[in-house]
Amino acid sequence: MAVRSRTGFSRQEVNRTVWEVPERYRDLKQVGTGAYGTVCSAWDRRAGAQVAIKKLHRPFQSKLFAKRAYRELRLLKHMRHENRSFRGHFRPFLNADYKIKLQFLVYQMLKGLKYIHSAGIIHRDLKPGNLAINPDCELKILDFGLARQADAEMTGYVVTRWYRAPEVILNWMHYTQTVDIWSAGCIMAEMLLGKPLFKGNDHLDQLREIMKITGTPAADFIVKLQSQDAKNYIRSLPKVPKKDLHSIFSKASSSAVCVLEKMLLLDPEQRVSASEALDLPFFSEYRDADEETEALPYDQTMDNTDLPLDQWKRHTFTEILTFRPPRDSRETSL
């Protein structure tokens, strides 16, 4: 039950957390929670649409948290795409959903990634829990809190292991947008199998699980590795041949397996891009090239700046005050 709070705001308790939101938002229901925040769905009475509201946990407790909150806010403001926004009655993506129009779901995921990547951004935490679908089978990519620019330093110890690209696990090399393509391949594989494809118990076990299918890398890939320790480790592994994905996905069409073969490649330079993947025959039934839009470049200047906590607060409030929601509620990201 919402109770009156500040003028123009109402207060509501959801799962023992108090939410104080503008009165236009009603019927808050929690849809997800994580280490950095909680997301509720709400009905926007003014727009006549369902929206998502994210409440960050103590965003200004440190410079790191403040910078992260600022970056997430700016990324959300920058992204304007139908597979990035939040509209309609969405629910978390579940394994059982793999039966519902696989082609359409994967197509939308790649269409969203093409848009994100065109801005020079890597999501880097793409996993089933960061996807949502509604009853009309519309897919949305959620949670940009961990997203970083393609040319910034990334650690690799924050994403969910089962969907983590192999080059991230041992910090092999400079990462590119193809880390998201690997994750997309893992998600597509899970939709086909009904269970995760690579389910390692730790970093090295995850790598071993991956190589059971991709095979151990050849010498031309090993020389690309920046870490001598990584080179020595890979050379020490017993040679395992690449598995035929058709034998693992025996019930899938050859065109579906073709997509997986191009996404689940050990060498990130050989992986298909989101734009190239959309050209594959598997997606021809749903493809609308006019809808495969690209974004304006994302200005990363502030993201690589080290500022005091108070300045991060000030920049965050400025971003909030200058936000102008788009007229089309279907593209409202915040």
Q: At 188, is the pLDDT very low, low, confident or very high (cuts 50, 70, 90)?
A: very high
- Amino acid found at 36: Y
Region of 100 please: left (phi>0), alpha (psi -120 to 50) or beta: beta
Q: Which residue has the higher pLDDT, 257 or 154?
A: 257
Q: Locate CATH 3.30.200.20 in the chain.
A: 22-57
Active-site choice (44, 97, 125, 288): 125
Give yes or no for residue 305 having a pLDDT over 70: yes
- Amino acid found at 150: A
Q: Is 55 annotated as a binding residue?
A: yes
Q: 63-294 maps to which CATH number?
A: 1.10.510.10
Model confidence over 221-277: pLDDT tens digits? 999 888 888 889 889 988 999 999 999 999 999 999 999 999 999 999 999 999 999
d(CA 98, CA 237) in angstroms, rounded, equals 34
Using DSSP's 3-state secondary structure scheme, residue 219 falls into helix
Model confidence over 119-147: pLDDT tens digits? 888 888 888 888 877 777 888 887 764 55
- Residue identified by tokens 């790649």 is 110
Q: State residue 333's pLDDT score.
A: 32
Question: Domain 22-57 is in which class?
Answer: alpha beta
Which of the 8 DSSP states describes residue 329? G
**From the DSSP assignment, how many helices (H) and strands (E) are in the chain?**
11, 11
Query: Annotated catalytic, 290?
Result: no
Q: State residue 86's pLDDT score.
A: 41
